[in-house]
């Protein structure tokens, strides 16, 4: 909501010279109108349309009972979402199973409407045996993805209701020594489906030094178990220092240690929301007492839109890719697509529907014709009349009309196909052993929309420059946030699209220096061997000359003795 205000101020600044010119120089108004186009008002148009349409946000809260989930949600949005909640006794909790309870409320602030949906999970972690207690939660998230996919694939796409879970606040008990096994298993089951923001609940139970130690322990265990929690996006270089400092503080504060309270108490002559204890007052909105303000700023004021973007561009796209892969596998098995999404009965087909059915019926004939054309192109390519192309599906991948699926094929850079067919729209290279992408591999694919690259051990050295450049040219970089460096150590787990050129060139310079050193060493060795060879040749030539001279001397002596013997015989 602050970003909208910033956009308004930005437009005002853009328009202020024009306004001042109108006031101070009325005679020059016509000349200025000729130079003014008007596209500077585009942010105003987007602002008006967005405010008129309103916003929606779905937040899930999970954690064992008694950690203050309901109180924190009410504190965040200054509303009471749990008016009719019934507290269960101990006997009822024993038989309670994990439920999914939705609370929807419309909030309006300064003319901006927000449809907030809170998804609560009562019963989670309260049973004696918590085996797969997270299964109803993962099923619910998948159901929302499935519903959105069904609506998106339907005929009426105008009024699609987005019920996908954009963020999950997971409450961690402050009374343990880190993450419990159920915490680890829950986050590992959900980290590929939703943005997880871990919270340390009831932080007023700990002193500041204990909070710091618990945060460090939780961060270490998250890295140890490979849990992917929500990562704050990197700041752009043109951001102001205040925003960069705020971003650094948010990253350093995770996981947030929070306190919730709906009670207003009086502290130092002021009425604040907090908790009253015999030893003093804990203020909810005092940053020296807890991270509630930082969580609220992150969740509502600075990163709400990014949470929705990551949900749409990463988690939902992964689900959508899996559905498309299932369709592709069905296509390769029986040459027909059986959608995993249940299709609703349609009314009597109209003219447009009949055209679509006719196009579908003609697809086999078109595919047969395409195969013949590809064979002819390959034959002409072999004869040298046309440049060599790759019209067929590159092994060991599976291909559909516009999808090339190479997921989990054990591909390395050496085994990667040298080219893909130009009609490819989606290429899945995830979960292989790729360390880099050959230069120019994606350049000639005009129809390419997305490439799935996650799950590969990328080596961020000189060979990664092409992949980094290609990722930075993509309009939607959030789709590639899981494409991260595996090595070297100082760049490990960094998003490749956000690497600076200097960080990679420094590795290149080290590599070239090493190569230059080896080249000079080899050159010195070659010169030394050449010098030894020259000395050997010189010694051999001198020895040959000496032997030749001795042979000539011996020949002369033999000739003289032969003449002497012949004279004596006469």
Can you say whether the dihedral through the CA atoms of 98, 219, 318, 58 is positive or negative?
positive
Residue 535: its pLDDT value, please?
A: 92
Q: Which uninterrupted H or E stretch holds 171?
A: strand 167-172
Q: Which two structure tokens, joined as six digits, stand for 220?
A: 């270490």
Residue 268 DSSP code: T
CB 432 within 8 A of CB 409: yes
DSSP track, 374-420:
HHHHHHHHHHTSS-----SPPTT-EE-SSEEE-TTS---TTTS-S--
Is the link from the previous residue into 50 a cis peptide, with omega within 30 of 0? no
Q: Please give the distance of CA 395 from its chain centroid, rounded to a whole number.
A: 27
Partners of 451 in the beta sheet?
Answer: 427
Q: How far is CA 10 from CA 17, 280, 553, in A?
A: 12, 44, 106
- Would you give the end-to-end CA distance of the chain in angstroms? 135
Query: What is the C-alpha to C-alpha distance for residues 124 and 64, in angstroms, rounded to an integer?
Result: 6
Domains of the chain: which residue ranges? 42-235+246-319, 398-507, 518-554
CB 115 within 8 A of CB 104: yes
Q: Long-range contacts of range 150-158, CB-CB < 8 Å, 24 or more positions apart?
A: 150/341, 150/342, 150/344, 153/341, 154/344, 155/346
CATH of 42-235+246-319, one of 3.20.10.10, 3.40.50.300, 3.30.70.360, 3.40.50.12240: 3.40.50.300
Short-list 182, 180, 63, CA closest to 132: 182
Architecture of the domain whose range is 398-507: Alpha-Beta Horseshoe (3.80)
Q: How far is CA 63 from CA 125, 245, 291, 297, 344, in A?
A: 7, 31, 18, 22, 37
> Which residue do the tokens 């060599």 mark?
388
Residue 458: its pLDDT value, please?
A: 92
> Which residue do the tokens 């994606």 mark?
442
Residue 570: its pLDDT value, please?
A: 61
* pLDDT by position in tens, the chain (length 570): 444 454 455 445 544 444 444 444 555 545 555 566 677 777 777 777 777 777 888 988 988 877 888 888 887 877 666 666 555 555 555 455 567 888 888 888 788 888 888 888 887 776 666 777 888 888 888 888 888 888 887 777 777 888 899 999 999 888 877 888 888 888 888 888 899 999 988 888 888 888 888 888 998 888 888 888 888 887 777 777 877 788 888 888 888 888 888 778 877 777 888 887 888 788 888 888 888 888 888 888 888 888 888 888 888 888 888 888 877 776 666 554 444 444 434 334 444 445 444 554 454 444 444 444 444 444 444 444 444 444 468 888 888 878 898 988 889 999 888 888 888 888 999 889 999 999 888 888 888 888 989 889 999 888 888 898 888 888 777 778 888 899 888 888 888 888 887 777 766 655 556 667 788 889 999 999 999 999 999 999 988 888 888 888 888 878 777 777 777 766
Q: How far is CA 553 from CA 297, 543, 544, 548, 550, in A?
A: 106, 15, 14, 9, 5
Query: What is the C-alpha to C-alpha distance for residues 38 and 46, in angstroms, rounded to an integer?
Result: 14
Residue 538: its pLDDT value, please?
A: 92
């Amino acid at each position: 909501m602050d970003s909208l205000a910033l956009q308004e101020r930005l437009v005002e600044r853009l328009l202020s010279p024009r306004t001042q010119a109108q006031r101070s120089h009325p005679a020059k108004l016509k000349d200025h109108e000729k130079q003014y186009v008007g596209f500077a008002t585009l942010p105003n148009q987007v602002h008006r349309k967005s405010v008129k349409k309103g916003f929606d946000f779905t937040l899930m809260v999970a954690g064992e009972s008694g950690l203050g989930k309901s109180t924190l949600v009410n504190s965040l949005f200054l509303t009471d979402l749990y008016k009719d909640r019934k507290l269960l006794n101990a006997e009822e909790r024993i038989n309670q199973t994990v439920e999914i309870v939705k609370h929807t409320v419309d909030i309006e602030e300064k003319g901006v409407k927000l449809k907030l949906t809170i998804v609560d999970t009562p019963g989670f972690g309260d049973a004696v045996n918590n085996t797969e207690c997270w299964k109803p939660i993962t099923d619910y998230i998948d159901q929302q993805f499935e519903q959105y996919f069904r609506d998106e694939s339907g005929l009426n796409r105008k009024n699609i209701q987005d019920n996908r879970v954009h963020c999950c606040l997971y409450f961690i008990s402050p009374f343990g020594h880190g993450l419990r096994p159920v915490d680890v298993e829950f986050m590992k089951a959900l980290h590929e489906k939703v943005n997880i923001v871990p919270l340390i609940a009831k932080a007023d139970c700990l002193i500041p030094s204990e909070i710091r130690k618990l945060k460090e322990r939780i961060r270490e265990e998250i890295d140890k178990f490979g849990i992917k929690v929500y990562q704050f996006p990197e700041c752009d270089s043109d951001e102001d220092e205040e925003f960069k400092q705020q971003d650094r503080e948010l990253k350093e504060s995770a996981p947030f240690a929070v306190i919730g309270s709906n009670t207003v108490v009086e502290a130092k002559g002021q009425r604040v929301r907090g908790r009253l204890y015999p030893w003093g007052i804990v203020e909810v909105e005092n940053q020296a007492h807890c991270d509630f303000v930082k969580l609220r700023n992150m969740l509502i004021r600075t990163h709400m839109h990014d949470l929705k973007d990551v949900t749409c561009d990463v988690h939902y796209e992964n689900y959508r890719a899996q559905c498309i892969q299932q369709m592709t596998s069905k296509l390769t098995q029986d040459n027909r697509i059986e959608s995993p999404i249940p299709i609703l009965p349609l009314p009597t087909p109209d003219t447009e529907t009949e055209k679509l059915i006719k196009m579908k019926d003609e697809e086999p004939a078109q595919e047969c014709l395409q195969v013949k054309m590809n064979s002819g192109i390959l034959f002409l390519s072999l004869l040298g009349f046309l440049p060599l192309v790759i019209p067929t599906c590159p092994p060991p991948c599976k291909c559909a009309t516009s999808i090339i699926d190479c997921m989990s094929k054990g591909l390395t850079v050496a085994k990667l196909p040298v080219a893909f067919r130009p009609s490819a729209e989606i290429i899945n290279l995830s979960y292989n052993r790729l360390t880099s992408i050959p230069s120019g591999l994606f350049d000639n694919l005009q129809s390419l929309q997305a490439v799935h690259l996650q799950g590969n051990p990328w080596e961020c050295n000189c060979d990664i420059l092409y992949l980094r450049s290609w990722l930075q040219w993509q309009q939607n970089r959030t789709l590639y946030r899981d494409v991260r460096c595996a090595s070297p150590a100082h760049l490990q787990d960094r998003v490749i699209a956000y690497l600076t050129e200097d960080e990679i060139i420094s590795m290149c310079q080290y590599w070239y220096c090493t190569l230059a050193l080896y080249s000079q060493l080899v050159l010195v060795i070659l010169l030394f061997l050449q010098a030894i060879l020259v000395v050997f040749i010189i010694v051999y030539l001198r020895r040959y000359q000496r032997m030749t001279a001795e042979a000539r001397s011996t020949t002369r002596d033999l000739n003289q003795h032969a003449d002497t013997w012949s004279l004596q015989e006469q």
